[in-house]
Structure 1
Amino acid sequence: MNVFDQLAAWLGEPGRWSFTDPSGIPYRTVEHLSFSLLSLVIAALLTIPLALWLAHYRRAAFLASSAVNIGRAIPSFGLIILFWFLASRWEVDTTFWPLLIALVALALPPLFTNTYAGVTSLDQAPVDAARGTGYTEGQIMLRIELPLSLPVVLAGARVAFLQLVATVAIGAIVNDGGGLGRYIVDGFAQGAGGYGEILGGGIAVIVLALVCEGAFSLLTRFTVPRGLRITRKNELPSRAKATIS
Structure 2
Amino acid sequence: MEFLEVNAPRILDLTIEHAVLVGLAIIVALLIGVPLGIYLTTNDYLAETVLQIASVMLTIPSIALFGVMIPIFSIINQGIGFVPAFVALVLYSQLPIIRNTYTAIRNVSPEMRDAAKGVGMKTHQRLLRVEIPNAFPVIMAGIRTAVVMNIGIGVIAAYIGAGGLGVLITQGISRGDNYLIISGSVAVAILAMIADAILLWIQKRYTPKSIA
User: After superposition, what is the alpha-carbon deviation per residue over 1:5-57, rounded to whole angstroms, capped at 9, x for unaligned?
Assistant: xxx443121xx333xxxxx22211111111111111101101111211221x2
After TM superposition, list the pairs within 5 Å mapping 1:117-128 onto structure 2. 117-128=103-114
TM-score normalised to the size of structure 1?
0.79
Higher deviation after alignment, 115-124 or 74-83: 74-83
Aligned match for 1:115, one of 101, 105, 122: 101
After TM superposition, list the pairs within 5 Å mapping 1:137-216 onto structure 2. 137-177=123-163, 179-190=164-175, 192=176, 194-216=177-199
User: After superposition, what is the alpha-carbon deviation per residue over 1:118-139, rounded to whole angstroms, capped at 9, x for unaligned?
Assistant: 0111111111121222211122
Aligned match for 2:14, one of 11, 21, 28: 28
Higher deviation after alignment, 125-134 or 31-40: 125-134
Q: Decide whether the 8 Å contact of 2:168 with 2:181 is kept in 1.
A: yes
Helix, strand or coil at the partner of 1:173: helix
Percent identity over paired residues:
27
Q: Decide whether the 8 Å contact of 2:96 with 2:146 is kept in 1.
A: yes
Matched to 1:62, the amino acid is E
CA distance in 1, matches of 2:90, 2:188: 19
Q: Decide whether the 8 Å contact of 1:43 with 1:104 is kept in 2.
A: yes
Shift of 1:169: 1.0
Question: How well do the aligned residues superpose, as a CA RMSD in angstroms?
Answer: 1.9
User: After superposition, what is the alpha-carbon deviation per residue over 1:70-112, rounded to whole angstroms, capped at 9, x for unaligned?
Assistant: 2542222211111123222442252111000000000011100
Distance change >3 Å, CA 145–CA 65, structure 1 → 2: same
CA distance in 1, matches of 2:77, 2:62: 22
CA distance in 1, matches of 2:103, 2:197: 24
Distance change >3 Å, CA 225–CA 67, structure 1 → 2: farther
TM-score normalised to the size of structure 2?
0.91
User: After superposition, what is the alpha-carbon deviation per residue over 1:124-163, rounded to whole angstroms, capped at 9, x for unaligned?
Assistant: 1111121222211122112211111000000000010011
Q: Mark the runs of 5 or more structure 1 residues left unpaired by the alignment.
A: 1-7, 19-23, 230-245
Matched to 1:11, the amino acid is L
Question: How many correspondences in the alignment?
Answer: 211
CA distance in 2, matches of 1:176, 1:114: 29
Matched, 1:84 2:70: yes
Q: More helix by proportion, 1 or 2?
A: 2
Larger radius of gyration: 1
